[in-house]
Amino acid sequence: MTEVLDRPVSGDDRDRMFATTPGLDVDLSVPLGPLTLANPVMPASGCFGPELGPLLPVRELGAVVTKTLFAQRRSGNPSHRLTESALGMLNSVGIPSPGTSRFVHDVLPRYREFGVPVIASVGGLSVAEYWQVTEELAGVDCAALEVNVSCPNLEHGGLSIGADPAAVEDVVAGVAARTPLPLIVKLTPGVTDIGEIARAAERAGATAVTVSNTFPAMAVDVTTRRAVLGNGTGGLSGPAVKPLALRLVWQAAAAVDIPVIGCGGISSARDVVEFLIAGATAVQVGTATFTRPYAMAEIVRDLPGQCAGLGVGAVHELIATLRA
């Protein structure tokens, strides 16, 4: 168990609290397109900001993913934005954003201080906005871009861009034409065939896909007979969605030749191993960090023991090893 300190947490404290188990020589590195990460663990977009840096040894993560960036400043949705659900959480944050200029000058440098690869999440309420944000990030020191195609497309009445293979291909091809950086495309689960969307992203130049974003959901207050979330509906995440996300990862990995990043309900090293076996190359952790900000560091610490227990000397040996 992680110890609890009655004083401010120092760098030495973090190193001691989250040190890996001695004597286990396990290679945790994973290939992610042209990138090689020191380990497969990173935060999900929107679930980690620089302010959490003092709470865990961020430099021991495989990468950090920024909150989704839009061209202009956005305040997000009205309250309530978060509510608990059985084995999960619903959110309707609405993706607040500082805008590209402030992100580049004020926010990104704080992410880069962690000394691990920084993946900038790009959003857009139209196809053109994705391209605009990408152009405004030209020359910025990032390891990769994650194109969040789960955003509502205002050009088509709010339908998620990620629900339309043609729209995904259009967005990703335009982004690819505007940056030399590796492109990860974050997919929505709200589709009939996740493989079809993943293939569209691959055709357009994606070097990896993230599977997936939150699942559409809602909560009702029986006393007021109103939706609990200020926006009416939101996205469900947490342990409740893990079996659904595992299936989507398995389907996407079977459909494309590029790496898949698994996301959905991951809170332990054992969860990570399940996603790797199902076909993921790396993973993102989201909801677990809301109650346990140190969850990702614990997962990295516990991965060598999980690998050793399964008789493998490298975490990549687990990828796509699901037996029929």
Task: Write down the domain spans for the chain.
Answer: 26-79+96-211+239-318
Pairwise CA distance, residues 77 & 275, whole Å: 32
Cα distance between residue 205 and residue 182, in whole Å: 9
Q: What is the pLDDT of residues 13-68, one digit of tens each?
A: 544 444 444 457 999 999 999 999 999 999 999 889 898 888 889 999 999 999 99
Tell me the pLDDT tens digit for each residue of 233-253: 888 999 999 999 999 999 999
DSSP class of residue 67 equals P
Contact 31, 281 (CB under 8 A): yes
C-beta of residue 3 within 8 angstroms of C-beta of residue 19: no
Residue from 142, 151, 263, 307 carrying the catalytic annotation: 151
Burial class (CB within 10 angstroms; exposed 0-12, middle 13-18, buried 19+) of 189 = buried
151 is catalytic: yes
pTM assigned to the model: 0.90
User: Does 26-79+96-211+239-318 carry CATH code 3.20.20.70?
Assistant: yes
Residues 32 and 39: their CA atoms lie apart, in Å, by 10
Segment 94-103, tens digit of pLDDT: 677 899 999 9
CB–CB of 118/108 below 8 Å? Answer: yes
